Structure 1
């Protein structure tokens, strides 16, 4: 049985069943993640530029965002959902990345129900829909803004609940899932997840404005 003496997670009484320590350094894991993210964004940008040279800068950035989000949701979070029962002992690349991140949120090591349910919806609903939305932006589909609104609202709502459940656990029960070092809580937990608050909020506003404008224009045309 794992104890506080042989795992790096908080709270100290956590029992990550079958825990095996990572073999890759923090630096190697973060560099691998950063290079992969940069590669996905660069490849997406190149493909979009070749497929649709006239695309606006904003839409080009949003295509990159949705492809990147789709990879995070479907690949990384899908991996967690599939392996959630054995995460503490996983030593492949994605397993070690999750164990590094779990220093900021140990719920990923304990089959915690909310996290599992939230990640399942995120991986298998928002993940594929992110890819579809990216394609809709490039193809100028009339379904683009409804799809963008749905997936962005799902991301925004899920992230708010993700933050809130952890924070309220600390307020009401005095239980923190993050190590005490500032780097883990503010770097991993707050900063990395904040992207799925800020960018979806912009996408929701953009889609709302476009749909309201379209309805307003249709209403004006019908009056004439």
Structure 2
């Protein structure tokens, strides 16, 4: 082959989009005013960093409040994983009404099927809050970004998101300018830098 030995150019992956802390709070406050299934599902997505299908297809039998875990029997990676449940996430679960005869947290029109999608609900909310082209999946990115900017390690974020490859997690880690400045200041503090400018000759 004439292409033998020719290395493919590597296309850099685009950075993942996410909400900043102010807009994420606006979204959560707006969702808390609705008792719709879609609102409860979106709250869980934002509070757990779970994938959309992991939350929409979740079954009550896989919710373990005692161990604070939502079990995902088959994740995107092909293996089971556990979603950690924080206090706010447990509160959302407690607010979800159970439909008799349905195993799903979020039942669909038919009791034997889960809620199919939340796009229309999310799109209406996104437009009302003027968030721009933010997707449902970007709530997962937001969860990761907020954790990193709060000082949590990439290893912690990787475990919470269920990533097998830490390089995937790095795409989700949006460091805000304030976080970067504080990190730089930490080095200055360790070195004992005074922060005083060197006076110019003749000044």
- Give the TM-score range, shorter chain: under 0.3
More helix by share: 1
Larger radius of gyration: 2
TM-score, normalization: structure 1? 0.25
